[in-house]
Amino acid sequence: MNGLLVIDKPAGMTSRDVVNHVQRWFPRGTKIGHTGTLDPLATGVLVICVGAATKLADVVQAMGKTYHSRFQLGSTSDTDDADGTVTLVPAAAPPTEEELRATLTTFVGEVEQLPPAYSALKVAGRRAHDLARRGEAVELKPRTVRIDAVRLLGYDWPFADVEVDCGKGTYIRAIARDLGAKLGCGGLVQTLRRTRVGSFTAEQALGLDLTWEAARKGLLSPDILRH
């Protein structure tokens, strides 16, 4: 029981919840792990490593990723997404499409990004989101991330639909937050879907309504990572 499962994570579940669900499909004691946290709000590609393939988790995590997201401008959130406490920005001025496109280009490249306070990063051994929920101050340092492309797919104030190609550790919520700050109108992620991790795509992803037989048949050989 060794291999990779490409799962289409539904909204409302944590990545750990998905791992717990997948464990039901395999014999007790089988090692199972995910390859990169998706927020509960997010859906899409979550690669699960089974058995000896768990040793390859870092390889998958390092792969490039693609996200589709709907940004909500004119508002901010304490979590930088729609799952948090959303606050309208008074008298927020809608940017033109040209201003929006021009500002999005400033996020492409090797950029310094401040992770959201509500994130799984650890501060003194504790998860940042746990500290934030308790009302404790969360001090995270900016990190260098790689953003290969940000494409504007549609714009109808206050919503902007974007597609992002990026490297490991990039927070789409932080892009929405920082975009809103640069435009002076506020911004947050309303919806988020990961459509690609490396060569693994949403089209090949499996739902969580599988039988254990179908799940085991869906295992991909770890050798696929060598191609």
Confidence of residue 108 (pLDDT cuts 50, 70, 90): very high
Pairing between strand 43-50 and 187-197? parallel
| CA angle 192–194–197, rounded 5-degree value | 160
Q: Is the peptide bond before 158 cis (omega within 30 degrees of 0)?
A: yes
Tokens of 189: 């992620």
Q: Where are the beta strands (DSSP E) in 10-108?
A: 32-34, 43-50, 65-73, 75-77, 86-88
In DSSP terms, which residues pair with 155 in a beta bridge? 160
Q: What is the pLDDT of residue 115?
A: 87
128: pLDDT strictly greater than 70? no
Say how far apart CA 117 and CA 5 lie, in whole Å. 30
> What phi-psi label fits residue 186: left (phi over 0), alpha (psi between -120 and 50 degrees) or beta?
left
Active site residues: 39
Percent with pLDDT over 90 in the chain: 79
In the chain, where the domains are located: 3-63+198-226, 65-196
Say how far apart CA 140 and CA 102 lie, in whole Å. 28
Give the architecture (CATH level 2) of 65-196: 2-Layer Sandwich (3.30)
Q: What is the pLDDT of residue 130?
A: 57
Q: What is the pLDDT of residue 44?
A: 97
Q: Which amino acid is at 107?
A: F
3-class DSSP state for residue 226? helix
Q: What is the pLDDT of residue 36?
A: 83
pLDDT 10s digits, 46-76: 999 999 999 999 999 999 999 999 999 999 9
Say how far apart CA 70 and CA 90 lie, in whole Å. 21
Confirm if 160 and 100 have CB atoms less than 8 A apart: yes
Entry pTM: 0.91
Confirm if 168 and 61 have CB atoms less than 8 A apart: yes
Say how far apart CA 23 and CA 11 lie, in whole Å. 19
| CA angle 146–150–154, rounded 5-degree value | 160
pLDDT 10s digits, 135-194: 655 667 889 999 999 999 999 999 999 999 999 999 999 999 999 999 999 999 999 999
Fold of 3-63+198-226: Pseudouridine synthase (3.30.2350)
Say how far apart CA 27 and CA 119 lie, in whole Å. 32
Q: What is the pLDDT of residue 138?
A: 62
Q: Is the peptide bond before 116 cis (omega within 30 degrees of 0)?
A: no
Say how far apart CA 143 and CA 146 lie, in whole Å. 10
Is-same-fold flag (3-63+198-226; 65-196)?
A: yes
